[in-house]
Chain A
């Protein structure tokens, strides 16, 4: 098992946002989580990436229980994520925004920085090279010198991908990666996700754009009111009665 959740539950006061969800994320595949608005998708993401602590249940990563680990420790283990809104430092260049992404693989500290030790120089270069590499991967080399404030929405999404990739992850969680961009750009990002999988990085994403998901995802889980109502390949999901009801009955935001 690559990533597995067991009876994962999160309550806010009396409200159950995620209710006893069992889910496995398969290595080297594109895994998707869909569901109507307010179905608990983002909460589920936050639980797996450590941003929230679950009320009950567990999360396993490569057989290791990571339920109680803080997000930064989870990131070190090789789990990266993006947010719906991309918080970039706008007065800084794209490259600069990405360099810090590899910080977790370095050890140089304050003294190294002040004394400019060999380790500092080595690691500065390592992070810079990593940033160049991932920017090349997300096809942003041409804008790496631009200030983050001046790049397009789609490019910002790619920077967010790059930042996540700079942490050398084995799995990347993408929170609505294509929200707010046009169909053409969406396809570009979908291709990028496939490229990531080819590189051996597992992808797990939340998405609203059904058409794209059905084409892209190898495995889909559907959440509704915090509960898993279906899981499987896109054909299985499309023919699932519970899913059809959830989408027709509720707010079909597909």
Chain B
């Protein structure tokens, strides 16, 4: 139990803090900022699964975020669908488009993949921007409804929206945790390590890459849809490349390919941005070099640096107690613990 707490301490701490935060601070503005950060985190988790665990840097994810947002907006505003049905459909539509894009994009590798997805992202942005009759073009889409009440629970107040989105975030984290610590997750990591090797141990790389791509667009779409119903107004800007750069910054600072990374990075950058309000448009003066410096010196971000630190400490500890015979049970418990560290 002690080990369990140590292992997932950060996670339990985060959940507790997130749940009680509204009771600690009555500030609606903070609540708003935090809710937004939760939405970004969901999208960043999607990106992390693809870029961090499978090794494919997609620059199209702002586009998929926008597709989710616009799908929800159009389905509720123009088609008058029930919010929850629209939410499900928005995710399905985004994933379906993700499937088609992935089918082609994943045949390319490395630079080509990055450039290809960058262009796909730009196409999505341009289409939203120019397809005036459907999307409202630069004027954007207004009057997107808040989530409709489920029985007695309504989502009109900022507080209820906060908890709703927190719920989705926690569900995302749970799903990510389970994927990463399963054979499926191991399969993704094997692909990141070496696609040739993965193939020779019998892994169908294309099938798995497509699965990851669709999953990651699903989460981008979910985040987009939640964003639309939270802010209630969307414009083409949410699909612009600067959004994907934001996502990347969050992910890189937190830790690419770590489970805690998206939370740590997003929370840190969003809160620093808040305290540097006066910087606003110039925030990239700090975050741009930060991104570059991190990738040179700490490519696995804060969470990765922490894991490395713990790893080294453990290695030292082991050396100071040499060749102590451990029983099988003990050893496998240690294995289990180490296994989790990777996440």
Determine direct contact between A and B, CB below 8 Å.
Answer: yes
Tell me the A residues contacting B by CB distance below 8 Å: 49, 51, 70-72, 75-76, 80-81, 83, 87-89, 91-93, 95-96, 99-101, 103-104, 106, 108-110, 112-114, 116, 120, 123-124, 127, 144-145, 147, 150, 163-164, 166-167
Q: Which residues of A contact B187 (CB under 8 A)?
A: 100, 103
A76 to B203, CA, bound (A): 9
B211 at the interface (CB under 8 A from A): yes
Can you report 8 residue pairs joining A to B where beta carbons are below 8 Å apart?
A71-B199, A72-B203, A75-B199, A92-B189, A96-B342, A108-B183, A123-B183, A145-B334
Identify the closest chain B residue to A109 (Cβ): B184
B185-228 to A contact mask, C-beta < 8 Å, 1/0? 11101101110110111111100000100010000000000000
In the bound complex, CA of A127 to CA of B311 (Å): 25
Contact B201 A100, beta carbon cutoff 8 Å: yes
Contact flag A83-B342 (CB < 8 Å), given A104-B203, A113-B184: no
Expressed in whole angstroms, the minimum distance between the Cβ of A247 and any Cβ of chain B is 30
Task: For A112, list chain B residues within 8 Å (CB).
Answer: 182, 184
Q: Given A88-B193, A145-B331, A145-B335, check contact A99 B186 (CB 8 Å).
A: yes
Contacts A70-B199, A76-B202, A91-B308 supplied; 11 other A-B pairs, CB < 8 Å: A75-B202, A80-B200, A96-B338, A100-B183, A100-B186, A100-B190, A103-B202, A106-B183, A114-B178, A127-B183, A164-B201
Q: A80-B201, A81-B200, A93-B339 are in contact. Are A116 and B184 (CB under 8 A)?
A: no
Residue of B183, B187, B307 most packed against chain A (CB within 10 A): B183
Nearest Cβ on chain B to A92's Cβ, whole angstroms: 5
A96 near B179 with CB under 8 A, answer: no
A164→B339 CA distance, assembly (Å): 21
B186:A83 contact, CB within 8 angstroms: no
B173–chain A nearest beta-carbon distance, Å: 12
Q: Do A89 and B189 touch across chains, with their CB atoms under 8 A apart?
A: yes
Does B315 count as interface, using CB distance less than 8 angstroms? Answer: yes
A110 partner residues in chain B, CB cutoff 8 A = 179, 184, 211, 215
Distance, CA A145 to CA B197, complexed state (A): 22
Set of chain B residues within 8 Å of A72, measured between Cβ atoms: 199-200, 202-205
Q: Does B79 contact A (CB under 8 A)?
A: no
- Chain A residues lying within 8 Å of B1, measured Cβ to Cβ, are none
- Quick one: which of A71, A76, A89, A108 contacts B193, CB cutoff 8 A? A89
Note all chain B residues with C-beta closer than 8 A to A83.
196-197, 200
In the bound complex, residues from chain B placing their C-beta under 8 Å from that of A120 are 182-183
In the complex formed, the residue of B with least CB distance to A76 is B202
Q: Which residues of A contact B285 (CB under 8 A)?
A: none
* Chain A, Cβ-Cβ closest to B323: A142
> Is B329 in contact with chain A by the CB < 8 A criterion?
no
Q: How far is the CA of A93 from the CA of B339 in the complex (A)?
A: 7
CB-CB under 8 A for A101 and B201, given A87-B194, A96-B339, A144-B335: yes
Query: What residues on B are CB-neighbors of A147 within 8 Å?
Result: 311, 315, 338
Chain B residues at the A interface, C-beta cutoff of 8 Å = 175, 178-179, 182-187, 189-190, 192-194, 196-197, 199-205, 211, 215, 307-308, 311, 315, 331, 334-335, 338-339, 342
Question: How far is it, in angstroms, between the C-alpha of A101 and the C-alpha of B187 when the chains are bound?
Answer: 9
Does the CB pair A163–B201 fall under 8 Å? yes
Closest CB of chain A to B291's CB: distance in Å? 21
Q: Kindly list chain B residues whose C-beta atoms are within 8 Å of the C-beta of A96.
A: 186, 338-339, 342
Q: A91 is contacted by which of B178, B183, B202, B342 (Cβ under 8 Å)?
A: B342
Q: For B199, list chain A residues within 8 Å (CB).
A: 51, 70-72, 75
CA gap between A112 and B334 in the complex, in Å: 25
Partner of B201, one of A104, A123, A124: A104
Chain B CB within 10 Å, residue with most, of A88, A96, A123, A150:
A96
- CB-CB nearest in chain B for A87: B194
Instruction: Evaluate contact between A167 and B183: CB separation under 8 angstroms.
Output: no
Distance in angstroms between the alpha carbons of A127 and B307 in the assembled complex: 25
The CA of A103 and the CA of B188, in the complex, are separated in Å by 11
Q: Which residues of B lie under 8 Å from residue A109 when comparing CB positions?
A: 184
| Chain A residue contacts of B203, Cβ below 8 A | 72, 100, 103-104
- Residues on B with C-beta less than 8 A from A144 are 331, 335
Bound CA span A101–B185, Å = 13
A126 to B331, CA, bound (A): 18
> Is the CB–CB distance between A113 and B200 below 8 Å?
no
Known: A83-B196, A110-B184, A113-B185. A103 touches B335 (CB 8 A): no
Q: Which A residues touch B194, using CB under 8 A?
A: 87
Contact of A113 with B201 at beta-carbon distance under 8 Å, contacts A100-B189, A145-B334 already known? no
Contact between A75 and B201, CB atoms less than 8 A apart: yes
Of the candidates A95, A104, A123, the one whose C-beta lies within 8 Å of that of B202 is: A104
CB of A71 within 8 A of CB of B311, answer: no
Report Cα–Cα, A205/B212, bound state, in Å.
Answer: 35
Known: A88-B193, A113-B179. A145 touches B201 (CB 8 A): no
Q: Is the CB of B339 within 8 A of A49?
A: no
